[in-house]
Every structure is written in C-alpha cells, then in structure tokens.
Amino acid sequence: MFKRIDHVELVTDQPDRTVAFYTDVLGFKVRNRDRVRAPTGMAIDLVYLELGGTTVELITYDGVEPTAAPTGIHLGYNLIALEVEDMDKALQFLKSKGVECVWGPRKAATYARAEITDPNGYHIELRQWM
C-alpha cells in the first residue's frame, strides 16, 4: 500500500540562495519548478530538488515574511538527514564551500553523525553508517 516517502517540504524566503545550496553544495538536481495558487489565492513558487530518489520541495510564498523558528526541539519540521560515504571527507568538502558543522561529528561503533544548516537555518543531519 505505502511505498516510500515521496518528498519533504521546506519553506524559504531565499529561494535562489537555497536552490544554489542544495544543488551546488549538496549535489541535488532541480527536477521541476512550478508556480501555483493556494486555495486562499496566494501565489506559491515551488522547486522540486532530487537526490538519490528523495525529493525536497522548496516552497516560497509571495509577500509572506517567515516567522522566527523557536530554538531547540519544537513541533513541526526538525531536520532532514543525508547519508554520506565518508564523514571526514564530507565535512572537509563542506568546509571548503563555507559550510561549518554546527554539531558533531559524533562517532560510534556503527555510525558517525554531524549536523550542518542550510541558508534558512534548517538543520541537515549527515550520517555515515559503518
């Protein structure tokens, strides 16, 4: 009946900067772009980004200022996780692109884990399974 997660939605007020981060830094490909009207009549720009069969849908609402997200654990979006082949090499590459690790890396017997943020401040977990 249920097959897989189809996509994860992220709301941004910086669509160009966010698309550049996900494509140029993390290697996602732009699958599709669309502009639709919400039931309220508000225009919404959508960008579908794909990596390894997973899609991130970036949503930008016309004329809407985002509210500051609370710090720490909260209801709603928490993070997206990307599997990496080699944690040390991934963090080294990200640092060369100006992306600093905000947590970790933590290395355990079966995994290594770290977190970075995208231009919107959304956390992205990096996970290497041993």
Which pLDDT tens digit goes with each residue over 31-77? Answer: 999 998 877 788 889 999 999 999 998 988 887 666 554 445 444 56
Q: What is the torsion angle, in degrees rounded to the nearest 10, for the CA atoms of residue 65, residue 69, residue 7 and residue 60?
A: 10
Considering the entire predicted model, what is its pTM?
0.77
Q: Of 75 and 96, which is predicted with more confidence?
A: 96
CA distance 106 to 108: 7
CA distance linking residue 10 with residue 24, whole number of Å: 18
Highest mean pLDDT among 20-29, 37-46, 70-79, 111-120: 20-29
Does the pLDDT of residue 106 top 80, yes or no?
yes
Q: What's residue 70's pLDDT?
A: 45
What pLDDT, on the 0 to 100 scale, is given for residue 69?
A: 46
pLDDT of residue 22: 96
Give residue 31's pLDDT. Answer: 94
Q: Which two tokens stand for residue 49?
A: 């980004």
- Identify the CATH number of the domain defined by range 79-130: 3.10.180.10
How far is 55 from 38, CA to CA, in rounded Å? 21
CB 10 within 8 A of CB 59: yes
Alpha helices in the chain (DSSP H): 15-20, 87-96
Cα 49 versus chain centre, distance: 10
Which option is the CATH number for 1-63: 3.10.180.10, 3.40.50.300, 3.40.50.720, 3.30.70.20? 3.10.180.10
Start-end of CATH 3.10.180.10 domains in the chain: 1-63, 79-130
Residues 6+ apart with CB under 8 A from 20: none
Structural tokens at position 78:
């928490």
Please tell me whether residue 9 adopts helix, strand or coil conformation: strand
Distance CA 36, CA 115 (A): 33
